[in-house]
A and B are shown apart, each in its own frame.
Chain A
Amino acid sequence: MPTIVVDVMPKAELLDPQGKAVAGALARTGHTAFSGVRIGKRFELTVDGPVDDALRANVQQIAEEILSNQVIEDVVGIHYEVTNAELAEEAAEAASVAGDGFGAPAGETH
């Protein structure tokens, strides 16, 4: 099943109180090598259907308009963890193993 990962971070110029608190805890516990910590969010979206250009445009839109608030956050990455090409390869492999051209549907092969 294709998974789409959207990474959102608080804007670099803004104070990140959560990160600051964690940085303080690291310093207190002797992990002195780290001069800063910032905390963001990772969203994992799964889709059952194909990942096509329309879906990619849709992901871009919801990442900017819903998953993040552009006043306080930035979308720093959108990753497609399983591509259609990979799924097609898996389907082809499954078909050749099955030998009858009627392999398991892509996405259910593992």
Chain B
Amino acid sequence: MRIGVITFPGSLDDRDAQRAVRLAGGEPVALWHGSHDLEGVDALILPGGFSYGDYLRCGAIASLSPIMTEVVAAANAGMPVLGICNGFQMLTEAGLLEGGLIRNDHGSFICRDQVLTVENTSTAWTAEFEAGQLITIPLKNGEGGFIAAGDTLDRLEGEGRVVFRYVDVNPNGSLRDIAGISNARGNVVGLMPHPEHAVEPGFGPDTAAAMRSGVDGLGFFTSVVKRALVEA
């Protein structure tokens, strides 16, 4: 399973996403935003960071990158695509996911280990989780408030496309505590928190068992890798 991780100018977590793919048993492929070549990958990750310095709007200029033409075509053809944080913002700007992300309601950047519920386990990126499972992964953003029109929110919820919701605390003012959503087909998923930072013991969030032992993010990547094996 070859999973492409696209680096944009200002991406920060591209190497972490590549590492997560490797730890999940996949082969990471570094892709560049200025190319029109997806190099035959089987899935795509748009990583976190501050592409183009968050100029214009977060993810807006990156969503106009050359490679996004191919990303949109591949996503519409069913390729699994995961947008993390800035990558989620790009997917909304590119029109692959609905809604938008605005500045946190409290006005501050926030960085914390965040508990989420996994509400939809039928997407390409969540099949390894149990419905309703609580996971803890890092969250770090300044503009993570998910918003959409009321009827859009109703439709997303009605169609089971709210994939993740914040638990205990709403860290950024996201409407209806939404942390991540999918497209109708379930191959495109975006979320603000960072699963790629919780994939290896010693480097993840604290757990009751031990400091930094949390690996709840690994399931995102094993989901898509195992899915490819089933389909092969």
- Name A residues whose Cβ lies closer than 8 Å to a Cβ of B: 10, 14-15, 17-18, 20-21, 66-67, 69, 71-72
Contacts and interface: CB of A to CB of B under 8 A. Distances in A.
B48 interface: no
Interface string B92-111: 11000011101111110000
A25 to B, nearest CB: 11
A13 to B, nearest CB: 9
Nearest to A72: B100
Contacts of B105: 15, 17
Contacts of B60: 66, 69
Interface residues of B, number: 20
B64 interface: yes
Nearest to B98: A71
A14 B147 contact: yes
Nearest to B173: A15
Contact of A71 (B64, B100, B104): B100
A18 B103 contact: yes
B211 interface: no
Contacts of B33: none
Contact of B107 (A10, A18, A67): A18
Contact of A17 (B57, B100, B107): B107
A32 to B, nearest CB: 21
A21 B60 CA distance: 24
A76 B188 CA distance: 32
Most buried by B among A15, A69, A72: A69
A10 B102 contact: yes
A21 B107 contact: yes
Contacts of A66: 56, 60, 64
Contacts of B99: 71
A72 B100 CA distance: 6
A84 B227 CA distance: 60
B148 interface: yes
B64 to A, nearest CB: 7
Most buried by A among B93, B104, B107: B107
Nearest to B60: A69
B93 A72 contact: no
A74 B106 CA distance: 22
Nearest to A70: B100
